[in-house]
Structure 1
């Protein structure tokens, strides 16, 4: 294994460890804005998957996204009784959106973000896009799953399901796009400028 591959493997493992910590330690993976004034809980794990894709390439981004999805799935199975647990207890919804976030952001970043193109706006857009893609893919996959496997209870409507999901998940989406955009803008720009190129 070459030195660059070894460094990429170690860095990918580090990002996976960060995702695992964010999934189990309060305040590392979310910003509980509802505790203050907004009534929202903003997930910032998309930032970690996005950074892995930006710094290490789409394959590493996909691996980190996969572990993010796995932690969501396990948490949903072990803590049932909420709408969120019902949504993410399906592996399609838990795994595929997060895997795609790391993959797509990594692919786009290899062309959109280079050492010659380190504008803050580009990094903000990339982080915001990661959060948007996560929400969009979760809504689409949940709509598909709930349509195929009829689900009732917990206030889930049989009609206008897509609109309902956009309503309950879309509220946080705007805040998540801003938060993840800012974090990627601050952290990603510094790391990409300082670290050696480890993209696959």
Structure 2
């Protein structure tokens, strides 16, 4: 990744938006009972798009970087605005690691399809599907498989919570991402 004033400025701007979405209640994480619907996959994808359009940097490293920021925002959100399940996401294994994996895979797929002659809108919807699906899938797999091992006294809670994440979060997050990200991405492409 080339580091210059342009790159630092863009990263600083995107980091400040991540902080805004993390620190302002009801902006990046919308409480829904004991769960929170997150708008962070949208911000993750917009950041990936902006960084790629402006710096032509490798999308895989961008995916890792912004996946890390997404995970860190989840951890900070759980500390600052705890819900009944915040103790799960205070652990970086459940908040940061799944998002880094999601960012890596999304960046890899975005890098792979960048040079294919896809319709731009279809590509953006596909990236929405990939980012949201892998975010939910990795969080689900980590919570379902590692939660009972780490918190052995609460096995049933983790099994129920894992399935509730899948049932309550996935579809709303996918719909919101698919509605918001593609128009923003197409507008950014016209600007750059």
TM-score, normalised with respect to structure 2: 0.79
Of residues 38, 56, 74, the one that matches 1:72 is: 74
Matching residue of 2:55 = none
| Cα distance change of structure 1 residues 78 and 41 upon mapping to structure 2, 3 Å threshold | closer
Instruction: Give the secondary-structure state (helix, strand or coil) at the position aligned to 1:157.
Output: helix
Matching residue of 1:185 = 182
Instruction: Give the secondary-structure state (helix, strand or coil) at the position aligned to 1:42.
Output: strand
Choose 69-78 or 174-183, whichever is displaced more: 69-78
The count of corresponding residues between Structure 1 and Structure 2 is 185
Contact 2:60 2:108 in 1 (8 A): yes
The higher-RCO structure (CA 8 Å, 6+ apart) is: 1
What is the 5 A alignment of 1:17-96? 17-31=16-30, 41-55=36-50, 56=52, 57-80=59-82, 82-83=84-85, 85-96=86-97
Q: CA deviation at 1:58?
A: 2.3
Structure with greater proportional helix content: 2
- Gaps in structure 1 of 5+ consecutive residues: 196-200
* Runs ≥4 residues deviating over 6 A: none
Q: CA deviation at 1:138?
A: 0.6
Contact 1:50 1:106 in 2 (8 A): no
| Cα distance change of structure 1 residues 119 and 41 upon mapping to structure 2, 3 Å threshold | same
